[in-house]
Structure 1
Amino acid sequence: MTAGEQRGRRRDLDVLGVIALGGGIGSIARYGLAKGIPTPAGGFPWATFLTNVVGCAVLGGLMYLVLDIWPPSRYRRPFFGVGVCGGFTTFSTAMLESRGLLASGHGATAGAYLLASVVSGLAAVWAGAGAVQLVAKGRKP
């Protein structure tokens, strides 16, 4: 590894730190929501579904702010986008829950869950970005 590569890696440790901090915050929020909305065996996993839809909406709005409104920042996007939203959302858990529903004979619930998760997640990103865009345009002179 060259000296320049070593400096580059050390320089990125601060970004990794803000991602880790944001990820911890997002993960704790997700854990709290999961504990607050338990899923019965074979039931629709509402906690994970709501977590992912809310996270997608927040990410859509956040990315509009980060890319189009706020001035450039080294830490904002990694902290909020990768860290907080990445730690909060959990599409991997949605896939595991879908597999569990299929394995336990709840194929219809698994299918509805998968379809609703993808469609609602995409719609939430669009709606979150649109809502923030409307608010931002309403505040401009």
Structure 2
Amino acid sequence: MMGTLVQVALGGALGASCRYLTGLAALRLLGAGFPWGTLAVNVIGSFVMGVVVVVLAQVNGTRYAPFLMTGLLGGFTTFSAFSLDALTLWQRGETWAAGAYVMASVILSLVAIAAGLILARSLIA
């Protein structure tokens, strides 16, 4: 139990740090008018989750799941930031941008996890 908790904690710290750096990069590259950083981490995280699920299942690597899936990817992606960003856009009167952001986040994240699954399965099979 303690070993699993340490895995989750270390993965979470690393994932959150990567999320922060991705947000900074998106802000510098694309500006502050749209939550590009949150969108990016959720789509990238979904893709990586798809790959990790297949790889761990293939190599019977369930012992790495707490670090990779709960910790690293849980710390990297964030639904709470997504919710705040969407509500902020809505409250600023940017109804179209809020709707586009919600739709893009959900659709692109689903496409990304499916792409990750397909890629990993094609490489392992």
Moved over 2 A (4+): 71-74
Task: Identify the structure with the greater helix proportion.
Answer: 2
Unpaired runs of 5+ residues, structure 1, are: 1-11
Give, in whole Å, the separation in 2 of the partners of 1:87 and 1:24: 7
Matched, 1:18 2:7: yes
CA displacement at 1:107 relative to structure 2 = 0.7
Matched, 1:99 2:87: yes
CA displacement at 1:46 relative to structure 2 = 1.0
Matched, 1:27 2:27: no
Q: Name the count of aligned residue pairs.
A: 122
Unpaired runs of 5+ residues, structure 2, are: none
CA displacement at 1:99 relative to structure 2 = 0.4
Question: Counterpart of 1:8?
Answer: none
TM value normalised by structure 1:
0.83
CA deviation vs aligned residue, 1:82-138 (integer Å, no higher than 9, x gap): 00000000121011001001111111000000011011111111110100111112x
Identity rate, percent: 35
CA displacement at 1:44 relative to structure 2 = 2.2
When Rg is computed on C-alpha atoms for both structures, the one with the higher figure is 1
SS in 2 for 1:110: helix
TM value normalised by structure 2:
0.93
RMSD between aligned residues: 1.1
1:55 is matched with which residue: 17, 24, 45? 45
